[in-house]
Structure 1
Amino acid sequence: MHNHTLLELMPDPERVYVLTFEDNWEVDARRSDGPGSLRDFVGTEAAGVWQLTVVDNSFSHTGRIENLIIDVERSAGTNAVNVTLLGGRSYLDFVDVPPNATNMTIAISGNTQPLIVYIRRARPPTASEYDKRGTVNPPGGEVTLSIYDRPPLQPDRYYYEIFNPSSEPQNIRILVSFDYELAPPNYRLVWSGDQCAIERQCCFLCQDGCY
């Protein structure tokens, strides 16, 4: 996470300096150097022991860590959350899609400039790797991923990122919701036929085979 020297930024090596690392691009803070990123921990359990190991390999000075604070943020899930999104920054979160969900909708309100939404299954999205991308114009709107999209919505963990491409901070409200199919989870109704036809062809597709 921190593999460089900061002596050029520390005119007084006798002082205690506070370094803040944040990789979600939500605030103005130092990014971790890698390998890996703090974003790799998004969606993991916070319970347990967290350890930080730092090696001081400089022969000209001695350094030590006085204190370590880890700020763990709870996922909003399907609860509404208010976010102040700085210019050029993003908000990253995740949600678990239940088995019988047909649509996942990310609703945003309160923005005064266009925002870009990226959605991706199993991994955090990027500007070039995502399952769904949408623009939410002011004063708000929705981006929906459904079972009819390509790739379709599936029961799994989905990550979504909201990017503010403008230079102005945005005070927004975010809400994730689901629509559900009425049939039992193991079945999906499929029908075909012309709108003017009287008879319809339909069948049930089930996980254990049709009968």
Structure 2
Amino acid sequence: MFNLILFGPPGSGKGTQSEKLIAKYGLKHLSTGDLLRSEIAGGTALGLAAKSIMDKGQLVPDEVVIGMISSALDNNPDAQGFLFDGFPRTAAQAEALDKLLELKDTSIGVMLALEVSEEELVKRLLKRGETSGRSDDTNESIIRARITEYQNKTTAVADYYRNFDKVVMIKGEGSIDDIFNRLSKEIDERI
């Protein structure tokens, strides 16, 4: 089983590249947002607990999210591996994820981080905002604040995985295929 974390700031192309990587390597996409929505829609105990917390405007605790990831792993025993998207966001979450994966006799193979200049990100997001219907993609100051928040939060996660020599920075500019080939090269070296 091969597990990877795909990181990148808003507008870096994570969504596009995730789809291509999932198709090529047969990975199961694990997005914590999707997991939360699925557990809530399914009325599971974890989903009801998460909904209660979210309804109060609070963040879902790490142990609830880890519980949902554990369920997703258990519910997909035939998966070739998992692509983690949007998680972990903190060093504590990374540590909890590693402990969970160890219990399941697997681990993170690599953390691939897409690097894109801030100006390119702003340009991409403003362009996406023309068609996405997302108001946070139409305001440059909000876009820049999102990029800064991403950089502030994810540095600790990258530092955590650097301790295990699992972080690879990938140039996230160029054609979609060029970026995909760079990502694939790193994965192929580890499978």
What range is the shorter-chain TM-score in? under 0.3
Give the structure with the higher percent strand.
Answer: 1
Structure 1 length-normalised TM: 0.24
TM-score, L = length of structure 2: 0.26
Which structure shows the higher helix fraction? 2
